[in-house]
Amino acid sequence: MATAPFPNHYTCRLVSASDSKACSVCYKPTTTVLLSQNSADFFYICESHLKDKTFAEAIPPEEYLTLVKEKNGLDAQIKALERKAAAVKPYSWNKMMNTIGWDNSQEKDEPDAQSDDKDKDSTPPKSYEELNKKIKELGTKASRLNDSIASFKFKNYKLDPGMYRMRINNLLQAQNRLRRQKEVQAPGFFPLAPSHLLS
């Protein structure tokens, strides 16, 4: 199989408004350009098309992956705190059972004894209000991270395989047209009229 004339790795660049040209998809004026890694191919494209997964997929940098990892860690912490808060929440059912003299503390202690050492804290369980406050704090951080992730500007993209093949075909066709034009303009391409006298 022949190697592709350029890799499927494009960098997003911006040009000035005076240099804007028609988008390759919708033909609206745009200042966004996708440039292949070896600069063999480039085309103008609207930013909205870059968000379309059927057109191109962003190549996430390390900074973006760190944000996602941090967000997933916060989500896991929030879920763990919500479970703890549910365990210490003063439900009206518990209050009612305590008033009639039924104590389920022995049943509650049994699962804790079997839990992993990771879940055991040397500190006593926090109150429901403290846990709720901590959940809200982490929720605010997670919300800020969500905003950062949603508004993240990607610089590198990988085209959909069909779009990539189309870009390669466009380049090969342009090269063929250029070669054909040179052949046509070369002396000797067209036959010359006979120079000898006809008898």
Q: For residue range 99-138, what is the model confidence (pLDDT) as tens digits?
A: 665 555 444 444 444 444 444 444 545 677 788 888 888 8
Decide if 162 contacts 57 (C-beta within 8 A): no
Mean pLDDT score across all residues of the chain: 80
Decide if 54 contacts 166 (C-beta within 8 A): no
- Give dist(CA 107, CA 46) in Å, integer: 62
The tokens of 17 are what?
């408004």
What is the share, in percent, of the chain residues with pLDDT greater than 90?
30
pLDDT the model gives residue 184: 82
pLDDT the model gives residue 92: 59
pLDDT the model gives residue 98: 59
Q: Enter the pTM of the model.
A: 0.62
pLDDT the model gives residue 199: 60
Determine the length of the chain. 199
pLDDT the model gives residue 35: 93
* Choice among 114-118, 155-159, 183-187, 193-197 with the minimum mean pLDDT: 114-118
pLDDT the model gives residue 96: 59
Q: For residue range 5-30, what is the model confidence (pLDDT) as tens digits?
A: 888 999 999 999 999 999 998 999 99
SS (H, E, C) 128-185: HHHHHHHHHHHHHHHHHHHHHHHCCCCCEEEECHHHHHHHHHHHHHHHHHHHHHHHHH
More confident residue, 161 or 190: 161
